[in-house]
Amino acid sequence: MNCLQVGVVGGGFIGKQHIEAIRRVPHTKVVALCERTLEIAKETATQMGIESFYDNIDDMLKSHPELDIIHNCSPSNLHYEISKKTLQAGVNVFCEKPFTLHSHESEELTTLVTTQNLMGAVSFNYRHNAMVEEMKEQVTSGKIGKIWFMDVQYLQDWLLFNTDYNWRVDSTYGGFTRALSDIGSHCFDTMQYILGEKIVAVLAKRFTLHPERINENGVFVKVENEDAAIVHVKFESGIEALVRVSQVTSGRKNDFRILVEGTVQSLEWHQEQPDRLKFGNRDTGNVEIFADSKYLTGTAKSKVNLPNGHAVGWADAFTNSIKSFYEAVRNGSTENSNCTKFKDAHHIMKIIDACVKSDELCKWIDV
């Protein structure tokens, strides 16, 4: 089997997670790293054991015509430009979320990946957790009855104080939405994956706890994107759901929870206990299963390599998401892949646009 040659753009926290995950996938090699300055690129490449390093995507693409895939882990405002250049150079793209800042950009990239006969996916890793896969299997089988509602929350506290500053709060770099695009996008993708259908309408309310924040220079900076949001969504079949996202909820670190309500049972998954799935029953005791292939069904079995008690967590789902895309690249098609394809990620961008419009007009908006 040929070794896939991989380049990574962006060596910050998430870029390093990509590199480590890539190295857990057999027959792959990270051959080049691109960062915002040559000094940072050299330091990170040396730290991560990567031979070649660059301070711009053009030089990396020119120097490595053998690249099969580029991971776009740059700040959000650069996702469109870097992904476009990569596709135009004939290289497949695995992009961090949010896909782009604007839906017209994601639409262009979705068209480009097809015309270039290439493959593109966006890093929505939660759908690749074994227990999320099991939720999908249970929903598809009908064992929990007819689904009538979903209750989803994703709460964090890393931006609770006005002294908490990050490039994401600057709309120039982080976009005109933040909580919705940064963590709400994960909610929308995971919900759609579990149900196997799209969100078609939203009623949204956005909240900005701190209209101004103090940056690293001690200067008050205006904040134009939201700290939190509540979204009522409708799916194609008429199923409804409530989504709450926040980056300013004290004591919540990465609190992503999904409750699927069926007419026979409910299913509940909590990202901070990712190797467990709860089945809610009315007339008998509730049941909690652990991530072990002997308890799981369908494709969920393939996501577990260790016996129960050896927690399957965030890093494993992250690796699974990359592995899924790499298998598609090797097979020459994403048709049977469960990765979040560009067309799927473009629909999520349209959901976010609809949320913003709904907040502005205070009414339901079709996606």
Nearest 10 degrees: Cα torsion 351, 357, 360, 362: -70
Q: Based on the number of CB atoms within 10 Å of its own CB, is 230 exposed (0-12), middle (13-18) or buried (19 or more)?
A: middle
Please, which residues bridge with residue 207 across strands?
Answer: 228
Distance, in Å, from the CA atom of 338 to the CA atom of 170, rounded to the nearest integer, reads 33
pLDDT (tens digit, 0 to 9) for every residue of the chain, 367 residues total? 689 999 999 999 999 999 999 999 999 999 999 999 999 999 999 999 999 999 999 999 999 999 999 999 999 999 999 999 999 999 999 999 999 999 999 999 999 999 999 999 999 999 999 999 999 999 999 999 999 999 999 999 999 999 999 999 999 999 999 999 999 999 999 999 999 999 999 999 999 999 999 999 999 999 999 999 999 999 999 999 999 999 999 999 999 999 999 999 999 999 999 999 999 999 999 999 888 776 778 787 777 766 666 667 788 888 999 999 999 999 998 888 899 999 999 999 999 999 999 999 999 999 9
Tokens of 41: 């690129």
Q: Based on the number of CB atoms within 10 Å of its own CB, is 179 exposed (0-12), middle (13-18) or buried (19 or more)?
A: buried
Domains annotated for the chain, with CATH where assigned, are: 4-122 (3.40.50.720), 126-366 (3.30.360.10)
pLDDT of 336 reads 83
pLDDT of 60 reads 97
Residues 6+ positions from 50 with CB-CB distance below 8 Å: 8, 19, 30, 31, 32, 33, 44
The model carries a pTM of: 0.94
Residues 6+ positions from 308 with CB-CB distance below 8 Å: 275, 290, 291, 292, 295
Q: Based on the number of CB atoms within 10 Å of its own CB, is 178 exposed (0-12), middle (13-18) or buried (19 or more)?
A: buried
Q: Is the C-alpha dihedral spanning 211, 215, 218, 222 positive or negative?
A: negative
Q: Strand 255-262 to strand 240-246: parallel, antiparallel, or no bridges (unpaired)?
A: unpaired
pLDDT of 315 reads 85
Distance, in Å, from the CA atom of 198 to the CA atom of 230, rounded to the nearest integer, reads 18
